[in-house]
């Protein structure tokens, strides 16, 4: 007899899915996208329904229990998640777990659905006696219905009069679902559409034509900093909504989300366009409520960081990936997906256009436009027609400095403060100093779990590892020679902030890095203070370099510009060029501006091109290097990372695996095994094998060999497969 059979992807690290029998009593409510409890061997597991079919149920276990009343995703999103699981070689159940809001992968739902009383007026032909009672009834009548929280915002101590009004029959009350709103108490800012210049109009017209045609096409919106890319996004989203479809906007960092959300709310929420935000800075409850609103079709626009690419929009008409060059779009652990690349796949599956935007596009995206695989839209001038900032390289080679700030940069800061303007200073290192050093014997203090020195944080009086978060108190004497001459070496943002306070005691200075913005809402507070000119100097790591628009900033200073240039990664020049060009673009958004970059490598092409804002010049030089070595975008990579507690076992397993892959390599170059640049991380010894090929097909074939032999790895050795890696550490 034919029965309904459910295909289940469990959250365990298993590549295959499992079939379970659906009992007749459950058939009417069973659907793709539901969470279920099932038996898996001798234990129970949570799984997700990813398929339904009719068939012979003989020998199949029954589905134990449904854990949701409504599906968490539909068949179209399920197809997308299947594609991602297969491409990135990751178990489907864990892919779905990553996509969903936190708290939905356990047997018991950890995120509660909140409810609250909602009041509506009941016509009685009479009026309440009390003035406050009458005001409450009038407010409810005007709104149609009002929740208790809304009434609290309008009236002080409304509980007693509300109870009396319900008792007298003037109001009816019922419990309704309450949405946790990350915008609570934030007023919608005012906004008006900006007239587009000719280049912006041309870009918008090409995008809008594809939106109206309901077809896939990928665009690279390459615009210099301040060229008005966001305004093009806003107009394109408006065209999408008018076509009756939904829009998605991805940003690389949570720090960028508040400012972008504010602009979208100002543009669309007065016309009742509904916006949802998805990123890891929200609580589990806020993300869960936003997810359910999206599945119910109550949202027109989703804005978020990397994980927002999985938002369950059912009528997606446009995907925008802002600052598409950013490496933070790639997940570094577990399910190692690239949200930018998945945006292109989702656009193809749903027949909707995808716009990648950047002032410094990734080499891969720009290369695709050269190969006619993507349409390039160029914005070559700033939206206000002002000049790009003047960039000056300050050569530190052969010079001895007592201060971490060069004399030209100190003078420029003084002039900026006297003119009552603002400055940004970029130093891409957290803490007070990268390490402490014993001046007598040269001993430094290292993390016991990672192959790295501990960073000194003076304010909290700790040495801290920025990889595993191990910390200890600084020693008063050297553990090797008992010497007392222990000094901080180098400088981080905390030290820079202190030095600035000593140089400019009257200046209002703040710091933006992970240490100062760990609490919710701090990003937004710092952004607001800069916009309202309540800060004179903002110091920070790379998070200050991306996408922010501060009209009062006329000076940008960059310290230790060589830091990213000297990393052992073939993308180090690209990252350095992008970072310097992006942070330079924060200066003079209203026209002009000045940028000073302190460096020991003034003759390096990445810094030279960044100082001239010459993307094309950098692209051509960097592409020659990539082409010669067969690195992306002129080739394809897979990085295999083996890790474990036993060093000998890890390196032995890596040698055997490397030998096996070499035997079947064909057109794939097998590099390694070799120790990872950070050979020890979070207590694990790590070794890597890099697979490189000119075409994807040979790599995919070799990965099937890998899948067949990975079960032979010894116990205690884990293997992570990183498809299209962007970080070689």
Q: Tell me the per-residue pLDDT of 28-60, one tens digit each, with 9 for 90 and over.
A: 899 999 999 999 888 888 999 999 999 988 889
Judge if 543 and 523 occupy the same domain. yes
The enclosing H or E element of 472 equals: strand 471-472
Please name the residues in contact with 90: beta carbons below 8 A apart, sequence gap of 6 or more. 84, 334, 335, 336, 337, 721
Pairing type for strands 422-427 and 553-559 reads parallel
pLDDT at 225: 84
- Report, as ranges of residue numbers, the positions in the chain whose pLDDT lies below 70: 1, 103-112, 181, 183-190, 255, 270-273, 385-386, 547, 589-591
Judge if 347 and 367 occupy the same domain. yes
Domain boundary among 625, 651, 681: 625
Q: Does the reported pTM lie above 0.75? A: yes
Q: Which phi and psi (to 5°) does residue 598 adopt? A: -85, 125
Judge if 92 and 127 occupy the same domain. no
Judge if 202 and 296 occupy the same domain. yes
Task: Please check whether residue 222 is in contact with residue 355, taking contact to mean a CB–CB distance below 8 angstroms.
Answer: no
Judge if 74 and 125 occupy the same domain. no
Q: How far is it, in rounded angstroms, from Cα 247 to Cα 233? A: 10
CA distances from 628 to 619, 622, 631, 632, 725 (A): 14, 10, 8, 11, 19
Domain boundary among 342, 358, 379: 379
Q: By three-state DSSP, how is residue 298 classified?
A: coil
Task: Please check whether residue 430 is in contact with residue 541, taking contact to mean a CB–CB distance below 8 angstroms.
Answer: yes
pLDDT at 699: 95
Q: By three-state DSSP, how is residue 172 classified?
A: strand
- Chain position carrying tokens 């897979």: 638
Which of 171, 167, 170, 127 is closest to 147 using CA atoms? Answer: 171
Q: Which phi and psi (to 5°) does residue 401 adopt? A: -120, 130
Neighbours of 287 (CB within 10 A): 27
pLDDT at 427: 92
* 220, part of any domain: yes
Model pLDDT for residues 56-111, shown as the tens digit of each residue = 888 899 998 898 888 999 999 999 999 999 999 999 999 999 999 876 655 555 66
Judge if 259 and 355 occupy the same domain. yes
Q: How far is it, in rounded angstroms, from Cα 362 to Cα 360? A: 7
Judge if 42 and 153 occupy the same domain. no
Neighbours of 50 (CB within 10 A): 22
Judge if 650 and 611 occupy the same domain. no
Please report, in angstroms and rounded to a whole number, the separation of the first and last CA atoms in the chain.
Answer: 55
* 186, part of any domain: no
In total, how many domains does the chain have?
5
pLDDT at 488: 87
Judge if 662 and 605 occupy the same domain. no
Number of H helices, E strands in the chain: 19, 30
* 509, part of any domain: yes
Q: How far is it, in rounded angstroms, from Cα 374 to Cα 277? A: 28
Please name the residues in contact with 189: beta carbons below 8 A apart, sequence gap of 6 or more. 262, 265, 266
Please name the residues in contact with 98: beta carbons below 8 A apart, sequence gap of 6 or more. 307, 310, 331, 334, 335, 337
pLDDT at 106: 55
Pairing type for strands 3-10 and 18-21 reads antiparallel
Judge if 601 and 496 occupy the same domain. yes
- Give me the half-sphere count of Cα atoms (radius 13 Å) on the Cβ side of residue 724: 21
Domain boundary among 345, 379, 413: 379
Task: Please check whether residue 212 is in contact with residue 243, taking contact to mean a CB–CB distance below 8 angstroms.
Answer: yes
| CATH assignment of the domain containing 408 | 3.40.50.300
Pairing type for strands 3-10 and 43-55 reads antiparallel
Q: How far is it, in rounded angstroms, from Cα 34 to Cα 101? A: 14
* 474, part of any domain: no
- Give me the half-sphere count of Cα atoms (radius 13 Å) on the Cβ side of residue 111: 20
Domain span at residue 227 reads 198-379
Q: How far is it, in rounded angstroms, from Cα 689 to Cα 154? A: 63
CA distances from 419 to 9, 414, 535 (A): 62, 9, 14
pLDDT at 366: 97
């Amino acid at each position: 007899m034919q029965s309904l059979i459910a295909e289940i992807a469990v959250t365990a690290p298993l590549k295959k899915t499992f079939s379970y029998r659906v009992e007749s009593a459950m058939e009417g409510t069973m659907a793709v996208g539901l969470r279920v409890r099932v038996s898996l061997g001798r234990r129970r597991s949570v799984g997700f329904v990813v398929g339904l079919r009719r068939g012979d149920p003989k020998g199949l276990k029954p589905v134990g229990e449904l854990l949701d009343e409504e599906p968490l995703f539909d068949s179209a999103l399920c197809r997308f998640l299947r594609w991602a699981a297969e491409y990135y070689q990751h178990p489907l159940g864990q892919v779905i777990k990553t996509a969903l809001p936190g708290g939905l992968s356990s047997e018991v739902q950890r995120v509660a659905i909140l409810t609250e009383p909602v009041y509506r007026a009941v016509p009685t032909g009479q009026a309440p006696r009390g003035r406050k009672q009458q005001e409450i009834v009038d407010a409810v009548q005007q709104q149609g219905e009002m929740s208790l929280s809304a009434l609290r915002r309008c009236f002080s101590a409304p509980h007693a009069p509300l109870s009396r009004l319900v008792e007298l029959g003037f109001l009816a009350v019922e419990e309704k679902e309450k949405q946790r709103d990350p915008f609570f108490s934030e007023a919608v800012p005012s906004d008006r559409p900006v007239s587009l210049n000719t280049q912006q109009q041309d870009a918008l017209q090409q995008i809008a034509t594809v939106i109206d045609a309901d077809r896939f096409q990928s665009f690279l919106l390459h615009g210099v900093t301040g060229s008005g890319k966001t305004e093009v996004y806003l107009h394109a989203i408006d065209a999408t909504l008018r076509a009756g479809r939904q829009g998605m906007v991805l940003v690389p960092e949570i720090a960028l989300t508040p400012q972008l959300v504010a602009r979208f709310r100002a543009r669309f929420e007065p016309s009742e366009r509904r916006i949802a935000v998805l990123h890891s800075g929200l609580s589990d409850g806020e993300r869960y409520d936003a997810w359910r609103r999206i599945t119910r079709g109550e949202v027109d626009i989703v804005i978020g960081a990397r994980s927002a690419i999985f938002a369950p929009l059912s009528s997606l008409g446009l995907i925008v990936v802002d600052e598409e060059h950013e490496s933070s779009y790639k997940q570094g652990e577990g399910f190692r997906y690239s949200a930018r690349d998945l945006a292109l796949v989702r656009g193809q599956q749903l027949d909707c256009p995808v716009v990648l935007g950047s002032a410094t596009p990734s080499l891969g995206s720009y290369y695709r436009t050269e190969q006619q695989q993507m349409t390039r839209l160029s914005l070559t001038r700033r939206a206000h027609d002002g000049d790009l900032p003047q960039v000056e390289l300050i050569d530190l080679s052969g010079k001895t400095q007592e201060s971490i700030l060069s004399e030209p940069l100190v003078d420029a800061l003084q002039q900026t403060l006297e003119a009552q303007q603002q400055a940004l200073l970029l130093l891409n290192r957290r803490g007070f100093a990268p390490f402490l050093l014993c001046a007598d014997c040269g001993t430094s203090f290292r993390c016991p779990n990672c192959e790295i020195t501990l960073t000194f944080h003076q304010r909290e009086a700790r040495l801290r590892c920025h990889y595993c978060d191990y910390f200890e108190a600084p020693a008063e004497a050297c553990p090797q020679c008992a010497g007392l001459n222990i000094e901080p070496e180098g400088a981080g943002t905390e030290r820079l902030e202190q030095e600035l306070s000593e140089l400019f005691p009257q200046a209002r200075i703040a710091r933006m890095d992970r240490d100062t913005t760990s609490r919710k809402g701090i990003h937004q507070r710092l952004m607001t203070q800069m916009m309202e000119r309540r800060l004179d100097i903002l110091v920070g790591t790379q998070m200050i370099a991306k996408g922010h628009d501060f009209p009062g900033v006329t000076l940008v200073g960059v310290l230790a510009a060589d830091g990213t240039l000297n990393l052992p990664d073939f993308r180090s020049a690209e990252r350095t060029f992008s970072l310097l060009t992006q942070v330079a673009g924060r200066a003079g958004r209203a026209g002009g501006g000045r940028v000073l970059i302190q460096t020991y490598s003034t003759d390096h092409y990445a810094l030279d091109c960044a100082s001239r804002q010459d993307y094309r010049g950098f692209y051509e030089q960097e592409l020659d290097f990539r082409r010669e070595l067969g690195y992306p975008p002129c080739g394809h990579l897979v990085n295999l990372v083996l890790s474990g507690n036993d060093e000998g076992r890890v390196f032995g397993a890596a040698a055997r695996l490397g030998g096996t892959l070499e035997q079947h390599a064909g057109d794939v170059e097998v590099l390694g095994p070799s120790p990872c640049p950070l050979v020890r991380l979070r207590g694990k010894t790590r070794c890597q094998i890099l697979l490189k090929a000119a075409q994807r097909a040979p790599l995919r074939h070799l990965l099937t060999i890998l899948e067949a032999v990975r079960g032979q790895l010894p116990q205690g050795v884990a293997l992570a497969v990183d498809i299209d890696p962007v970080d070689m550490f």
